Amino acid sequence: MVAIVSHKREAIHRAVREMYTAVAKSPAQKFHFPTGREACDAVGYPPALVASVPARAVESFAGVGCPFAAEVVRGGDRVLDVGSGSGTDALICARLVGAKGRVYALDMTPGMREKLAQTAAAAGITHLEVLAGDAESIPLPDASVDVVTTNGVLNLVPDKARAITEIHRVLKPGGRLQISDIALARPVAERFRQDPQMWAECVVGAVEEERYLAMAQRPQRLAEERRRLLGFDDPVPPNPPAAEI
């Protein structure tokens, strides 16, 4: 079972990287999900907020909502953007936290990381750091950020419970979490969940809203959720700090 799950995770990660490499390098291409400025408008970003972001970042935006409706990012904060993509949200965070804050932009797709790094450099933004990695293994120390933001990413993650454990780990006590993602009204049939391409297309990787909330608000249930999703146990850090939702 462990080998099968590991193989599936790798296949999902590969499919996701391929999909979002295309979004980074060919933003004018038509995808089955909205992208770019059209997507920002569709999911409710205020026009003035989008106008503050370089067009090169916005053109490859592929989020599913506007997490900034939560209004939890403050001046001087250290913020982690999980699955930052081309950087629309990370660059908004950089403006909100100001020069005294810091933004970590984490993404698993090299094309997206390169695009964001070039955009930030061209804009003279020095308090944004692009990190290679994924939500299941965040390359930051414990209790190192004030806010975690993520947009349309958790539905792509095979091991959501591990990802949320990692988010709790890097958040400072009393830290804040803003999430925009896809939630299901009812579970997806298991035969569809075996297709990595359907994961990359944001079709089958989401779970029901109450399960997202249970994992985010009650970390003690994470081990149980991991067994349900993956079919085997894997050590996770005990008793991660709770976050304000």
Read off the tokens for 145: 């950020």
- Return the exposure string of 119-149: e unless at least 16 CB atoms fall within 10 Å of the residue's CB, then b: bbeebebeebebbebbbbebebeeebbbbbb
CA angle 48, 95, 56 (to 5 degrees): 65
pLDDT at residue 159 in the model? 85
Nearest to 174 by CA among 245, 71, 101, 103: 245
Instruction: Name beta bridge partners: 129.
Output: 104
pLDDT digits (tens, 9 = 90+) for 44-85: 999 999 999 999 999 999 999 999 999 999 999 999 999 999
Average pLDDT for 103-122: 98
Average pLDDT for 6-33: 88
- Tell me the pTM: 0.82
Average pLDDT for 112-132: 98
Predicted confidence band at 17 (pLDDT cuts at 50, 70, 90)?
very high
Domains of the chain with bracketed CATH: 2-230 (3.40.50.150)
- The residue ranking higher by pLDDT, 136 or 183, is 136
Q: What is the largest CA-CA distance in the chain?
A: 49
